[in-house]
Amino acid sequence: MRFIYLLVFFFVTITIAHAQLKAVHKKGSYSYWVNTPAQSDLKADKWPILVFLHGRSLSGSDINRVKRYGVLRAMEKGRSIDAIVVAPQTSNGWDADKVMNIVDEVLESHGGDPNRIYVCGMSMGAYGTMDVAGKYPDRIAAAVAICGGGTLSLACGLTQVPLWIQHGNSDRVVPLSESQKIYKAIKKCNPEADATLTVVPGGTHGSVESLFHQDAIYDWMFGYAL
């Protein structure tokens, strides 16, 4: 009988934990996943907001595709993130204004700390990350861009945002030179900019997805606030 009670408790606990993840479907904008912490020592108005932008391979209208890699996949594998996680889906490239409209919607509906908004992305999502951070440097506390690049005209805006760029030197999809170009442009605007480029030895376009399953990027981002 005790085993049955424990089994029931286990399934109830799992159900509660996963009930925090919700899909929001929108017409005329990006549909998105939003996940609030199942357990947190922080009040809702102090939760960080972490936005994850996916790459081209996850584009489309099936929002479940967004779970295939990145932050949501890491969470499904057991990673706990003490933040509101927002993962929109685009069908064709990222629009910084639409991304920030979603952030404002989440702040209104779920709470969150407007001084602790973070954005990260992979591949096309890395370009989107830099577009969001470069266009809204006064709202983004820190950003991580993995195996992508950036819009050079936004480089000077990016000098105002702590930015960690990571790229594998064996990437045959998006060459390392794309990250190097935006990094050099940022440093040209301001040599003292808080921007770091990390070259992942042997890293391919797919293998660097493992970075979302490690502590480093989350610990680094959450160490900043506006």
Q: Report angle CA 128, 86, 93 to the nearest 5 degrees.
A: 25
pLDDT of 73 strictly over 80: yes
Instruction: Give the pLDDT confidence of 75-134 residue by residue, as tens digits.
Output: 999 999 999 999 999 999 999 999 999 999 999 999 999 999 999 999 999 999 999 999
Give the span between the Cα atoms of 218 and 222, in whole angstroms: 6
pLDDT at 74 (0 to 100) = 97
pLDDT at 1 (0 to 100) = 35
Strand partners, 3: none
Token digits of residue 109: 């509906």
pLDDT at 12 (0 to 100) = 34
Lowest mean pLDDT among 6-10, 200-204, 221-225: 6-10
pTM: 0.90
Residue with tokens 């919700």: 22
Token digits of residue 186: 């940022």
pLDDT at 41 (0 to 100) = 67
Mean pLDDT of the chain: 91
Return the H-helix or E-strand segment holding 198: strand 195-200
Ranges of each domain in the chain: 31-221
Give the span between the Cα atoms of 176 and 150, in whole angstroms: 12
The DSSP annotation for 112-172 comes to --TT-EEEEEETHHHHHHHHHHHH-TTT-SEEEEES----GGGHHHHTTS-EEEEEETT-S
What is the third-level CATH fold of 31-221?
Answer: Rossmann fold (3.40.50)
